[in-house]
């Protein structure tokens, strides 16, 4: 049964009947070729978009939420409404210890400040941070290192600066590690430089200095600007947000139903929206691709049906010469599958070219919208298997049509 697939004669027959009418064979293939091309092109582009999103968010713990204090909107426990809520370092600790599913809580502080170096200066956001920040918001350090525990313990005057600041305050190719910059009229030693991210989640961050140093120079005490809460991957970040806020309300004497006392930005939720969008787009891509493919395969079935009609007499002759109906059917199905697969291969190759084109047009550089647009080998195999199955099914229609007519009638056909 399978053996005939490896016989030269089978393929000779297929080749003969396809090359007999090259134009028709080619037109037949266009449908499937187009379908596969669309499938590969769309899937690759969708993957490229996904890659670019992943690259943007890659440095971020996406299962996280920012929480900061605002003004209350309800009176509670003797406090008037409109009370300023100020988060403290201890709040962060209590939240971390009491809310289920939390991975990290990172307290942060920020201020605008004038940064001076020699005769150059600029106003940048100064952040007081713990080394932990690097865990939840990975800094891509080009030079040097990030803040460590030793810096925190000794209130060291060290700064990690962004590439942008370096460009503004330093000469091109100048060594920055160990250099001094003035922040708030105090000298800080530069210990590292990080690459500016593609996306700034939350407030922009230009300079990071140790949290304790920040407390000291700005006289912050135990106050914190906001905290970044990261949930373990298996926990729902919205629940963590709600739980954390409830604890914070309790700690800060805020009415439990006061929704304005704390501001928050749930990165997990935003990220879920984008992920959902990407999944939707992939679904759409498959849907469009497969639908086009089916249309293409039907076109093949249609043309094969016409071909069979045209070849009625030939089929009659073959049967008079001793071809069994099975042999006739088999031949037609093999032709259908072969032509479908051939068209599929061309589609995959041209689809690949399109992806290469997309990559060179939109996929270069850091700002690329579509990164590494590609399809996996699995997708290609799945597409080919679908083609074989569809080709076989569609080939059965003309195959049965070809043998449904009696050889005697087939021979009479002119």
* Contact call for residue 411 and another protein (CB under 8 A): yes
DSSP run (H or E) holding 110: strand 102-117
Which CB atom, from 81 or from 327, has the smaller least distance to another protein?
327
* Polymer length of the chain: 414
Name the DSSP class of 6.
G
C-beta of residue 133 within 8 angstroms of C-beta of residue 208: yes
State which residue, 202 or 325, has the beta carbon closest to another protein. Answer: 325
Task: Report, in Å, the least distance between residue 395 CB and another protein.
Answer: 19
Which residue among 83, 117, 156, 319 contacts another protein (CB under 8 A)?
A: 319
Binding of another protein by 9 (CB under 8 A): yes
**CB nearer to another protein: pick between 3 and 84:** 3
Closest CB 314 distance from another protein, rounded Å? 6
Q: Does 25 bind another protein (CB under 8 A)?
A: no
Site string for another protein, 114-143 (x = CB under 8 A): ------------------------------
Q: What are the C-alpha distances in Å from 145 to residues 117, 127, 176, 197? A: 20, 16, 12, 17
Q: Is 329 in the site for another protein (CB under 8 A)?
A: no
Question: End-to-end distance of the chain based on CA atoms, in angstroms?
Answer: 33
Part in contact with another protein (CB under 8 A); list of ranges 14-22, 32-40, 98-106, 239-247: 14-22
Scanning residues 369 to 408, which ones bind another protein (CB under 8 A)? 403, 406-408
The yes or no reply on residue 2 touching another protein (CB under 8 A) is no
In sequence order, what are the residues at sequence separation of 6 or more whose Cβ sits closer than 8 angstroms to the Cβ of residue 274? 53
- Distance in Å, CB of 323 to another protein, minimum: 5
Q: Which residue has the tokens 């997990």?
A: 268
DSSP β-ladder status, 226-231 and 64-69: antiparallel
> Binding mask 273-312 vs another protein (x if CB under 8 A, - otherwise)?
----------------------------------------
Helix (H) or strand (E) holding 180: strand 180-183
The candidate with the shortest Cα–Cα distance to 116, out of 209, 166, 181, is: 181
Contact 343, 33 (CB under 8 A): yes
Structure tokens at 377: 């080998």
Please give the residue ranges that form the binding site for another protein (CB under 8 A): 8-9, 16-17, 19-20, 313-314, 317-327, 403, 406-408, 411
């Amino acid at each position: 049964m399978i053996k005939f697939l490896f016989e030269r004669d089978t393929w000779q027959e297929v080749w003969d009947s396809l090359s007999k009418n090259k134009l028709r064979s080619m037109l037949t293939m266009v449908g499937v070729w187009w379908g596969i091309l669309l499938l590969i092109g769309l899937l690759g582009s969708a993957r490229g978009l996904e890659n670019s999103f992943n690259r943007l968010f890659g440095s971020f713990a996406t299962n996280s939420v920012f929480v900061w204090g605002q003004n209350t909107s309800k009176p509670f426990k003797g406090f008037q409404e409109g009370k300023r809520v100020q988060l403290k370092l201890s709040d962060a600790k209590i939240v971390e210890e009491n809310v289920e599913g939390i991975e990290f809580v990172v307290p942060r502080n920020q201020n605008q400040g004038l940064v001076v170096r020699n005769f150059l200066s600029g106003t940048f956001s100064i952040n007081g941070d713990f080394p932990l920040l690097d865990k939840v918001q990975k800094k891509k350090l080009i030079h040097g290192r990030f803040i460590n525990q030793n810096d925190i313990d000794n209130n060291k005057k060290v700064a990690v600066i962004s590439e942008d600041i370096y460009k503004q305050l330093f000469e091109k190719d100048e060594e920055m590690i160990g250099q001094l910059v003035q922040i708030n009229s105090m000298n800080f030693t530069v210990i590292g430089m990080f690459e500016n991210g593609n996306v700034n989640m939350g407030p922009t961050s230009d300079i990071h200095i140790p949290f304790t140093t920040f407390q000291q120079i700005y006289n912050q005490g135990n106050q914190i600007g906001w905290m970044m809460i990261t949930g373990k991957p298996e926990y729902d970040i919205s629940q963590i947000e709600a739980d954390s806020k409830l604890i914070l309300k309790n700690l800060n004497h805020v009415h439990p139903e006061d929704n304005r006392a704390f501001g928050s930005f749930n990165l997990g939720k935003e990220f879920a929206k984008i992920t959902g969008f990407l999944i939707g787009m992939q679904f759409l891509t498959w849907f469009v691709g497969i639908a086009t493919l089916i249309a293409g395969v039907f076109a093949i079935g249609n043309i094969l049906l016409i071909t069979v009609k045209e070849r009625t007499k030939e089929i009659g002759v073959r049967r008079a010469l001793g071809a069994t109906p099975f042999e006739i059917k088999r031949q037609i199905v093999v032709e259908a599958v072969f032509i479908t697969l051939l068209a599929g291969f061309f589609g995959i190759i041209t689809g690949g070219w399109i992806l290469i084109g997309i990559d060179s047009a939109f996929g270069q550089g850091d700002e690329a919208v579509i990164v590494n647009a590609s399809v996996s080998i699995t997708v290609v195999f799945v597409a080919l298997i679908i083609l074989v199955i569809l080709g076989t099914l569609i080939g059965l229609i003309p195959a049965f049509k070809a043998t449904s007519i009696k050889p005697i009638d087939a021979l009479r056909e002119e």
